[in-house]
């Protein structure tokens, strides 16, 4: 693919070159290193600036194909293509394809942000393999099948971007980061928190009452150090999770609803964890209905024993007044919410992670969270974390709702983590909603369970997503010999297959009453 000085080739020529790239992956029977295989397939004219433009143009065409194909094929198509990649190339290639496929779930994300890493050949190779798998599992087995999804000619603004040969300078961080970067983000975050300058800043925040829960001590420096040390312990032991945009949306809706059963330890996926939202939770200024202040992009949690600090803890009100924090005897979890840090600032010795601690939130076993929570407020963001716990652990009570794919860290990097005091092995757990598909009036529906079909329904209708208090021992329910679990029921279509779809549109008629 010759690209003189980054000039955009004719659209058909670019499509043919990308077609040959996918064909190379389709014909290869053995996986050969992502970067090497892609660099071999793309011929560049000498300088790194032309390379930037070449990768931009290649990624643009591959992404246009993938987005168009995904809009046409069923929801199960991408998992089937990844299974094909695993059979053909092995688990490493399948894990990489899974990672890079998550980028496509950014609904409406600017193309420039998706391609900020345009000089990375791994994404091109993974997307080419995904397209090869889709050709086999959804098409006729030939790469020419993709040409029906060719994009229109780019407009002037897009063409200028595609022909740009300079690497991007400073920009706001794209979100989300590559899931495989999460162990490195954790390592950088630990170094950032342990830096003397950060510790001093945390001490200032404790003294000024910015942090709402602080150790009871007369020394702001000691309070800041204790808060930092506890958070470092949580991060070092944390199991790493990345939840996809669809699950973020389900968690946000669930967080707004009252919970139907108390929180318990078996509904927390790991004693210590660090979870990244691929779709951040909005956060507004206190007392403001509009104007977001920022976004909660991640959260850590860990078992917390308030008695570890014998002098007790202060609860800090918004006006700065202190009151003794009275903690019940049940198990506690300390959740630290993290806000996006959009600018690296001036380069210096202190590491600059893409996020920074915002506020803690405490939850204990037996909490019901029976009130509603408004989006944009701190409790809603924290309850979105708890909602993710519930969604991930529904399989423990026989109601699985999510699927998890693991991406393992290289052993050499895990050993380096160990030397830095990180106890977790760096495996990233990518969590998605299981078999997610939007209901459609024409979608075939399975028959309802026998115990639910005593009524002879004549129509089908949509049951909205909701939470339910699920009895774990129906036989003992009347005698109160049972316990209940909070479960989420996703939106589904109810009624016999083939029955007409009942639509319940509500029409409000406004009219003047009286003279």
pLDDT in tens, 83-98: 888 888 777 777 777 7
Output the pLDDT for position 119.
39
Is 79 contained in some domain? yes
If asked whether residues 253 and 338 sit together in one domain, one would say yes
pLDDT over threshold 90, residue 368 = no
Domain count for the chain: 3
Give mean pLDDT, residues 348-374.
77
pLDDT digits (tens, 9 = 90+) for 95-110: 777 777 765 553 333 3
For residues 298 and 391, membership in a common domain is answered with yes
Q: Per-residue pLDDT for 374 more than 80? A: no
Domain assignment of residue 485, yes or no: yes
465 and 416 share a domain? Answer: no
Distance CA 91, CA 85 (A): 8
The SS3 assignment for 438 reads coil
Tokens of 60: 């643009």
- Specify whether 188 is located in the same domain as 149: no
Q: Is residue 6 part of a domain?
A: no
Task: Choose one of 433, 464, 485: the last residue of a domain.
Answer: 433
How far apart CA 156 and CA 61 sit, in angstroms, is 16
Q: What is the pLDDT of residues 430-474, one digit of tens each?
A: 999 886 543 344 444 433 433 344 567 777 777 778 888 778 777
Q: How many residues belong to the chain?
A: 515
pLDDT on residue 32: 42
Return the higher-pLDDT residue of 166 and 375: 375
* Stronger pLDDT, 55 or 488, i.e. the higher one: 488
Among 122-136, 141-155, 225-239, 470-484, the range with the most confident prediction by mean pLDDT is: 225-239
Same-domain pairing of 254 and 154: no
- Residue 388's contacts (CB-CB under 8 Å, 6 or more residues apart) are 241, 243, 247, 251, 275, 431
Q: What is the pLDDT of residue 336?
A: 93
When pLDDT is cut at 50, 70 and 90, the band that residue 486 belongs to is confident
Do 188 and 75 belong together in one domain? no
Q: Does 354 or 425 have the greater pLDDT score?
A: 425
Is residue 169, in this structure, part of any structural domain at all? no
Say if residue 183's pLDDT is above 50: yes
Residues 260 and 376 in one domain: yes
Decide if 170 is inside a domain. Answer: no
Report pLDDT for 242: 95
Same domain, 145 and 201: no
Domain that holds residue 460: 447-514
- The crossing angle, in degrees rounded to 10, of helices 34-41 and 11-27 is 140
pTM of the full predicted structure? 0.61
Q: Answer yes or no: are the C-beta atoms of 472 and 394 closer than 8 Å.
A: no
Would 441 be classed as within a structural domain? no
The answer to whether residues 190 and 68 belong to one domain is no
Residue-averaged pLDDT of the chain: 76
**Residue found under tokens 């202040």:** 293
Task: Enumerate residues 6+ apart whose C-beta is below 8 A from 349.
Answer: none
Whether 136 maps to a domain, the answer reads: yes
Q: What is the mean pLDDT of residues 330-342?
A: 82
For helices 220-237 and 182-194, give the axis angle rounded to 10 degrees. Answer: 160
The answer to whether residue 284 scores a pLDDT higher than 70 is: no
261 and 400 share one domain: yes
Angstrom CA distances, 409 to 13, 33, 100, 461, 505, stand at 39, 17, 16, 46, 50
Give a yes or no: residue 168 inside a domain.
no
What is the pLDDT at residue 450? 38
Among the candidates 403, 433, 463, a domain finishes at 433
Separation of alpha carbons 397 and 160, rounded Å:
54
Query: Among 163, 191, 212, which residue terminates a domain?
Result: 163
Amino acid 488: pLDDT? 84
Quick check: bond before 176 cis, omega within 30? yes
Pairing between strand 428-433 and 239-243?
A: parallel
Residue, of 75 and 179, whose pLDDT is higher: 179
401, 451: one domain: no
The reply to whether 339 and 453 lie within a common domain is: no
Of 167-176, 260-269, 400-409, the least confident: 167-176
């Amino acid at each position: 693919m010759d690209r003189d000085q980054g000039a955009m080739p004719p659209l058909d020529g670019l499509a043919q070159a990308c077609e040959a790239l996918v064909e190379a992956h389709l014909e290869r029977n053995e996986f050969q290193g992502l970067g090497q295989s892609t660099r071999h397939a793309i011929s560049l004219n000498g300088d790194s600036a032309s390379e930037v433009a070449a990768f931009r143009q290649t990624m643009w065409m591959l992404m246009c194909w993938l987005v168009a194909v995904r809009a046409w094929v069923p929801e199960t198509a991408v998992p089937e293509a990844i299974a094909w990649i695993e059979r053909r190339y092995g688990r490493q290639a399948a894990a990489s394809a899974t990672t890079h496929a998550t980028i496509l779930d950014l609904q409406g994300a600017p193309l420039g942000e998706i391609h900020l890493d345009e000089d990375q050949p791994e994404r091109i190779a993974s997307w080419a393999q995904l397209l090869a798998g889709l050709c086999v599992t959804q098409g006729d087995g030939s790469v020419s099948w993709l040409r029906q999804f060719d994009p229109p000619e780019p407009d002037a603004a897009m063409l200028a971007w595609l022909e740009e040969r300079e690497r991007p300078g400073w920009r706001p961080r794209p979100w989300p980061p590559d899931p495989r970067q999460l162990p490195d983000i954790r390592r950088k975050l630990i170094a950032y928190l342990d830096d003397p300058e950060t510790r001093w800043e945390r001490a200032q925040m404790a003294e000024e009452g910015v942090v709402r829960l602080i150790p009871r001590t007369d020394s702001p420096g000691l309070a800041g150090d204790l808060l930092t040390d506890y958070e470092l312990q949580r991060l070092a032991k944390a199991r790493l999770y990345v939840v996809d945009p669809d699950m973020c949306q389900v968690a946000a809706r669930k967080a707004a609803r009252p919970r139907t059963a108390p929180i318990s330890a078996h509904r927390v996926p790991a004693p210590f964890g660090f979870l990244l939202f691929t779709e951040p939770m909005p956060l507004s200024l206190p007392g403001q209905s509009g104007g977001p202040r920022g976004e909660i992009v991640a959260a850590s949690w860990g078992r917390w024993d308030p008695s570890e600090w014998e002098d007790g803890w202060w609860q800090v009100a918004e006006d700065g007044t202190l009151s003794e924090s009275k903690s019940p005897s049940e198990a506690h979890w300390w959740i630290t919410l993290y806000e996006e840090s959009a600018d690296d600032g001036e380069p210096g010795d202190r590491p600059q992670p893409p996020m920074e601690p915002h506020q803690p939130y405490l939850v204990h076993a037996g909490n019901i969270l029976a009130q509603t929570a408004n989006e944009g407020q701190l409790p809603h963001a924290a309850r979105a974390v708890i909602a993710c716990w519930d969604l991930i652990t529904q399989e423990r009570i026989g109601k699985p709702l999510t699927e998890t794919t693991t991406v393992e860290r290289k052993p050499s990097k895990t050993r380096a983590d160990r030397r830095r005091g990180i106890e977790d092995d760096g495996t990233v757990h990518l969590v998605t909603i299981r078999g997610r598909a939007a209901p459609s009036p024409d979608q075939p529906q399975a028959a309802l369970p026998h115990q639910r079909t005593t009524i002879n329904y004549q129509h089908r209708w949509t049951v909205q997503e909701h939470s339910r208090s699920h009895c774990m021992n129906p036989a003992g329910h009347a005698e109160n010999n049972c316990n209940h679990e909070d479960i989420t029921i996703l939106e589904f279509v109810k009624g016999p297959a083939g029955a007409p779809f009942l639509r319940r549109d509500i029409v409000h008629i406004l009219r003047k009453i009286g003279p």
